[in-house]
Amino acid sequence: MKLLFFLMGFYSATAFATVIGQTGDWDILSAALAVAVVEGIGALMYKASLPLIGKLRGLIIMFNYWKAGLSLGLFLDSFKY
């Protein structure tokens, strides 16, 4: 399951870079959205004091693997151009 979420993140990064890269108008907003998603998942991952987060811990861990795939995919996609 972890590998599946990691590969889905990698695929999401490729799709994200391809679709957003077609128009040059949304680059800043899409980068801000990507940073907000990555930082939000990281904040949820490392803040375990809230009771709601404790119940959703497994789901947050899976999205952390998705986030790792997204980050790696965007990093590797930057070398294409």
Residue 69 near residue 13 (C-beta atoms within 8 A)? yes
Q: Residue 48's pLDDT is what? A: 62
**Per-residue pLDDT for the chain (81 aa), expressed as one digit of tens each?**
999 999 999 999 888 888 776 777 777 887 888 889 889 888 888 876 667 666 788 888 899 999 999 999 989 988 876
Digit-coded pLDDT (tens) for 12-31: 988 888 877 677 777 788 78
64 close to 45: Cβ distance less than 8 angstroms: yes
- What is the three-state SS of 14-63? HHHHHHHHHCCCCHHHHHHHHHHHHHHHHHHHHCCCCHHHHHCHHHHHHH
Q: Whole-model pTM above 0.85?
A: no
